[in-house]
Amino acid sequence: MQNHNLRREIKFVARETQYFHLIRWIRLHSSGFSKPYPDRWINNVYYDTYNYHSYTGNLSGESFRSKIRFRWYGELNSIKRGSLEIKMKRNSFGWKIKHSITSLHTLKNQKWKKITMEISRQLSGKYKHLFLSHPMPTIVNRYYREYFVSNDNKIRITIDRKQSVYDQRYKSIANMSTKSFIPDNIVVEVKFDREDYSSAMKVIHGMPIRSSRNSKYMNSVNAVTGNSILFP
Q: Is residue 8 assigned to a domain?
A: yes
Neighbouring C-alpha atoms within 13 Å toward the C-beta of 148: 21
Render the burial of 182-221: b for 16+ CB within 10 Å, e for the rest.
beebbbbbbbbbeebeebbeebeeebeeeeeebbbbbbbb
At residue 117, does pLDDT exceed 70? yes
pLDDT higher than 80, residue 229: no
pLDDT at position 211, please? Answer: 83
Average pLDDT, rounded, for the chain: 91
In a domain, 132, yes or no: yes
Per-residue pLDDT tens for 83-99?
999 988 877 788 889 99
Are 163 and 185 in contact by the 8 Å Cβ rule? The answer is yes
**pTM of structure:** 0.91
- Split into its structural domains, the chain has a count of 1
Task: Establish if 98 belongs to a structural domain.
Answer: yes
pLDDT per residue as tens digits for the range 59-80: 776 767 889 999 999 999 999 9
Q: Domain for residue 151, yes or no?
A: yes
Percent of the chain with pLDDT over 90: 76
Confirm if 183 and 143 have CB atoms less than 8 A apart.
Answer: no
Residue 231 falls inside a structural domain = no
Q: Is residue 197 assigned to a domain?
A: yes
Contact call for residues 89 and 97 (beta carbons, < 8 A): no
Cβ-based burial of 113 (10 A; exposed 0-12, middle 13-18, buried ≥19): exposed
Domain CATH code at residue 152: 3.20.100.30
Q: Residue 232 falls within a domain, yes or no?
A: no
With respect to residue 199, please indicate whether it lies within any of the assigned structural domains: yes
Range of the domain at 59: 2-225
